[in-house]
Amino acid sequence: QSIPFFIAFIVLEFAVSWVQKRKLSGRINDGISSLSLGILSRLPDVLFRSVDLISYIYIWNNYRLFELPWDSQWTWYLTLLGVDFAYYCFHRMSHEVNILWAAHQIHHSSEDYNLFTALRQSVLQKYTSWIFNLPMALFIPPSVFAVHLQFNLLYQFWIHTEVITNLGPLEWILNTPSHHRVHHGRNPYCIDKNYGGTLIIWDRIFGTFEAEDAKVVYGLTHPVNSFDPIMLQLRPLAHIWNTFWTTPGFCNKLSVIFKGPGWGPGKPRLGLPEEIPVITGKEVPFNPRLPTYLNCYAVVHFAVLTDLYTELLGTVTMLSQGTILLRIGFIILSLTSFGLLMENRQELKTGILEVIRCLVFIGLYKLGYLRSHFSSLGYAYEVKYLL
C-alpha cells in the first residue's frame, strides 16, 4: 500500500531537484539497482511470514511479564521510544559486527543519495534485526508493536534526500535528511555516526552523533562497482568466508565474524581510523555509459517488471505455491539481467541472458503463470518481449 506514495515522493524529489539544481536527483543505473535490491529484499515475505512478528508473538504468548493496555496513549509513547531504541541498537551493531555489516552494507552501497536509496535493502538483514525487539514482547502488545515497527521504517524513507537542507530546532530531536546524509557518507568524519531511526536523541546520548559539515561523499569506503543485485547481496559474505579461512588462529577467526569490518589481527575492535581512505572531493561514481536506447529499454522493461511484482503482492494468497515460485524465479532472473545490462558488459552471455529472459516471459505469460495489473496491456507486453 505504500508503493504509490513512494513513487509520488520520488517524482516530487525529481521535480524539486530540477528546480533547485537544474538536474535530476539520481542516475538511471543506480536507481534501477536500488529498486532491484528493494524488490529482492521483499521476495522472502511472499513465501514466509515475518520473522519479526512470529518471534514477537511467541514471546508475548509464552513469557510476557505483564500486559500494558493497548488503548493507553502512554503505551503508544513508550512503544515509539522502545522500537526506535531497539532500532538504534540493531543499527549500531550492524556497523560494528562484521557478519551483520555483510548484510547491512547493501543499503550503503549506492554512491547516490536520494529516495531510491531508501529502498535499497538487504535480503538477510531482517533475519537478525528481530532479536533486538524481543524485550518489548515481555509487556507491549503485538498489535501496538506491529504498528510502530511499520511507522519507524516508513519514517526513514523521506530522510534519504538532498533536496531538504536543514529543519531548524527539529534537528535536535528527529533524525533528519541532514543527519542521515552523514550516516551514508564515506568521509572519515561520517563513519559510524548517526544510527537513529526516527529520533536522533540516542546518538546524542551515546556519543555517536555528528553534524553535517564538509560535503558528504556517499557510498562504501571501498566501492563495490556493480549493479548486479545478487552479487551485491552475496559478495560481502564471500569476503568474510575467505578472510575467515586465511586468518590464522581460532580466536582471530571468530574475531573476523564478530568484530568490526575494519578489524585485523593486532588492531582495535573497530579497526584503525587512519586506514579509512582519504576523501579528495574528486571521487567519481561507478557510472558505465549506456546508449540512450538501452537506457530506455531498461526503464521500460523495469516498469513492466514492477507491474508484475505488485500484481504478485496483491494476489499472492490466491496463487499456488508453484505459480509463486515461477514468478519469483522470473523476477530474480530479470533483476540479474538488468544489473548486467546496467554495467554495460560487452559480453555475449549478457545478451543471451536477456534473450532467455524475454523468451521465458512469453512462455510464462502464454501459460497464465504471469499476470499484469492491467489486462488490456497483455498483448502489448507480448509484442514488446518478442521484439
Are 110 and 219 in contact, with CB atoms under 8 Å apart?
yes
DSSP letters of 215-277?
Answer: PP-BS-SS------HHHHHHHHHHHHHHHHHHS-SHHHHHHHHHS-TT--TTS-TT--GGGSP
Are 343 and 33 in contact, with CB atoms under 8 Å apart?
no
As a whole number of angstroms, the distance between CA 95 and CA 19 comes to 36
Q: Can you give the pLDDT at residue 346?
A: 67
Which tens digit of pLDDT belongs to each residue from 116-162? 999 999 999 988 889 999 999 999 999 999 999 999 999 999 999 99
Are 138 and 145 in contact, with CB atoms under 8 Å apart?
no
As a whole number of angstroms, the distance between CA 258 and CA 170 comes to 36
Residues in the chain: 387
Q: Can you give the pLDDT at residue 126?
A: 87
Q: Can you give the pLDDT at residue 25?
A: 80
Partners of 199 in the beta sheet? 174
Single-letter amino acid, residue 387: L
As a whole number of angstroms, the distance between CA 114 and CA 119 comes to 10
Q: Three-state SS for 185?
A: strand
Q: Can you give the pLDDT at residue 348?
A: 76
Q: Can you give the pLDDT at residue 174?
A: 97
CA quadruple 106, 108, 113, 114: dihedral positive or negative? positive
Q: Can you give the pLDDT at residue 172?
A: 96
Are 253 and 261 in contact, with CB atoms under 8 Å apart?
no
Enter the DSSP assignment of 141. Answer: -
Enter the DSSP assignment of 156. Answer: T
As a whole number of angstroms, the distance between CA 198 and CA 170 comes to 11
Q: Can you give the pLDDT at residue 5?
A: 87
Cell numbers standing for residue 140: 507491549
- The pTM (predicted TM-score) of the whole model is 0.92
Spell out, as residue ranges, where the chain has pLDDT lower than 70.
346
Return all residues near 92 (Cβ < 8 A) that are at least 6 apart.
192, 195, 208
